[in-house]
Amino acid sequence: MRPSLIAIDGPVASGKNAVGSLLAQKLGYRFIDTGAMYRALTWLALERGLDLGDEAALAELARTASMALASLKDGTVCTVQVEGQDVSAEMVKGRVERAVSLVAKVTGVRRVLVERQRRMAQGGGVVMVGRDIGTVVLPQAQLKLYLVASARERACRRYLEFLGRGEPAEYAEVLADLERRDRIDSQRSDSPLKPAPDAHIIETDGLGIEEVLKKILDIIEADSCPSSTTPASP
């Protein structure tokens, strides 16, 4: 039996979104990028000029803002809308990337978005990626994966992403910001970034997305196969 709920966690630029999307396509599941929800909310807070240190204001914004993830027929997320506006291109820009960890660490924000994420996963057939999926959002997930890579490897990936979008970037600055976000995500008091005790840890340094996908599919196949042990005859 295939797992109905698959949780993929890991730090920024560990490859979880790209591989999660491909895995959802392969299995015919819905793909839910929870990080997109935090980035979209961060974009809205910046647009409205909110003080990112005002936790009450951020929590209220999370509670009242309308947010929708629109999906392609194969289940992968293609657009994110906030207050009826498509912000998919805006929320991956540098200013949002630099601020999202400050918004995501707010307990009031997390409470609202975690509840939304749980409702989105109802019915199963879901690959959900984020930083606290296996530990907080879907602790009942039948398959939990935690992707890791060195800070330098991840910074290189993110640096190339910025250049690919035509955004100016300096590798040293990207690395420093990534390490800062790692500290915030792993040291926050609410839902810190860490692998679930029963998660499969996958090192992605030097691996392409297809190679990581194969590792995951191998895990699913191994977990789905019945035991080869033959019971003794009565």
- Rounded to an integer, what distance in angstroms lies between the CA atom of residue 132 and that of residue 141? 12
pLDDT of 159-173, one tens digit each?
998 899 888 889 999
Residue 134 tokens read as 């296996």
Give me the pLDDT at residue 229, please: 46
- Tell me how far the alpha carbon of residue 56 is from its chain's centroid: 24
3-state secondary structure (DSSP) of residue 234:
coil
Whole-angstrom Cα distance, residue 161 to residue 180? Answer: 18
- For all residues of the chain together, what is the average pLDDT? 90
What is the rounded CA–CA span in Å between residue 138 and residue 123? 13
pLDDT at 74: 59
Q: What is the DSSP letter of 228?
A: -
Residue 33's pLDDT is 92
> Per the structure block, which two tokens stand in for 13?
């630029």
Label residue 189 by pLDDT band (50, 70, 90). confident
Report the pLDDT value the prediction gives residue 32, as an integer from 0 to 100.
92
HSE-up of residue 178 (Cα within 13 Å, Cβ side):
23
Residue 71 CA: distances (Å) to CA of 24, 65, 136, 171, 176: 12, 19, 24, 33, 33
Radius of gyration of the chain measured on its C-alpha atoms: 18
The predicted structure's pLDDT at residue 77? 61
Phi, psi of 148 (to 5 degrees): -135, 155
Domains and CATH numbers, the chain: 5-214 (3.40.50.300)
- Say how many residues make up the chain: 234
Tens of pLDDT along 67-124? 988 765 555 666 788 988 889 888 888 899 889 999 999 999 999 999 999 999 999 9
Q: What local confidence, expressed as pLDDT, does residue 228 receive?
A: 46
Side by side, the strands of the sheet bearing 30-33 are: 30-33, 126-130, 5-9, 143-148, 200-203
Q: Over the stretch 121-153, which tens digit does the pLDDT of each residue have?
A: 999 999 999 999 999 999 999 999 999 999 999
Tell me how far apart the 2 most distant CA atoms of the chain are, in Å.
74
Q: Per-residue pLDDT averaged across 198-221, rounded?
A: 95
Going by pLDDT thresholds of 50, 70 and 90, the confidence category of residue 232 is very low
Residue-level pLDDT at 46: 96
Q: 3-state DSSP call for residue 227?
A: coil
User: What is the C-alpha separation between 96 and 204, in angstroms, rounded?
Assistant: 25
Band (227; pLDDT cuts 50, 70, 90): low
Q: What is the pLDDT at residue 71?
A: 62
Pick from 22, 3, 29: which is nearest to 221 by CA? 3
* pLDDT over threshold 80, residue 226: no
CB of 113 closer than 8 Å to CB of 170: no
Through-space distance between the first and last CA atoms of the chain, rounded to whole angstroms: 28
Residue 162 has what pLDDT? 87
Nearest-angstrom CA–CA distance, 43 and 100:
8
pLDDT digits (tens, 9 = 90+) for 7-54: 999 998 999 999 999 999 999 999 999 999 999 999 999 999 999 999
* Residue 79 and residue 86 in contact, taking contact as beta carbons nearer than 8 Å: yes
